[in-house]
A and B are shown apart, each in its own frame.
Chain A
């Protein structure tokens, strides 16, 4: 009996340990979604037929790091949308826990900063959970395959200096997308950065 308990405990421990890393990894097929944009339309990965991939950014209005990266996210879209890799931003926080991230506040922010990309609200947080995003801002670079599915090519930070764009000397997302455009796999496929934890619905 004790032996069985030990085995059970080990299994439980293993499962709970594995749950930390749940979500999608580099190389996995990206799950599609249908989420409401700040202009009221529904957006999915299939919406843009010309897209060769996406720069998917989990971000929000309120996190200081997200705010610090806003202009850089706009720049990424300006750099790569015309080459087939537009930005899609997804706001994952529950507005009950983070009132500054309500849909109305998202609309105001998108208008004020004239976001050239879709800014979607993941109301149910299902998409965020499926991808395994944990903090904001966090980027998933997707690349379209021959079968029209999207594969994850990079997960992580935009660059290596959240405080000062000019001081950053490793532009992870730019490098990843440039590699994909050339037809090469990105050299760096995963990075980590300090960010704001996602405010999950309680």
Chain B
């Protein structure tokens, strides 16, 4: 009985070890601006989401897959627009549960009107929304819509070329 318990405990320990804890930094607009304006050889893929946004959650696995398959050429950043006071209660538990591997930042800028246009002048403010930038060619594309996996891959390929 005791032996079984010890085995069970060890098993749960190792499981905990495998499930890495993820960090979510709370940032201001300047951090987002850096992503938009920096000089990087990689394609910048920035996705705006929130834990309460169902269509956002639906497309997150596609961004996860993109990060895993094309991490060498693409930088995926998931910008959470959840409220900053819900970081520990909602965002971090969600990121850990989903084992989100790309960088997750929580953008704590509640005065939305002051920065939405800076991301893209066509953005009405609805999420999900995705911004893809090729820093080398200067090309960028903003999509205010839920993407399918196929659409995301097409978008990335379009901007890579």
Q: Which positions in A face B, CB cutoff 8 Å?
A: 20-21, 64, 134-135, 156-157, 160-164, 167, 170, 191-198
Contact = CB atoms under 8 A, between A and B. Distances in A.
Interface in B93-137: 110-114, 116-117, 122-128
If over half of B's interface residues share one DSSP class (helix, strand or loop), that class is named, otherwise mixed; here it is: loop
A163 B85 contact: yes
Contact of B117 (A162, A163, A192, A195): A192
Interface of B: 52-53, 55, 81, 83, 85, 110-114, 116-117, 122-128, 144, 146
A197 B52 CA distance: 12
Of A135, A193, A197, the most chain B CB neighbours within 10 A belong to A197
A195 B117 CA distance: 14
B110 A195 contact: no
B127 A161 contact: no
A193 B55 contact: no
A160 B110 contact: yes
Given A64-B52, A194-B81, A197-B55, A160 B113 contact: yes
A161 B126 contact: no
Contacts of B128: 197
B112 A20 contact: no
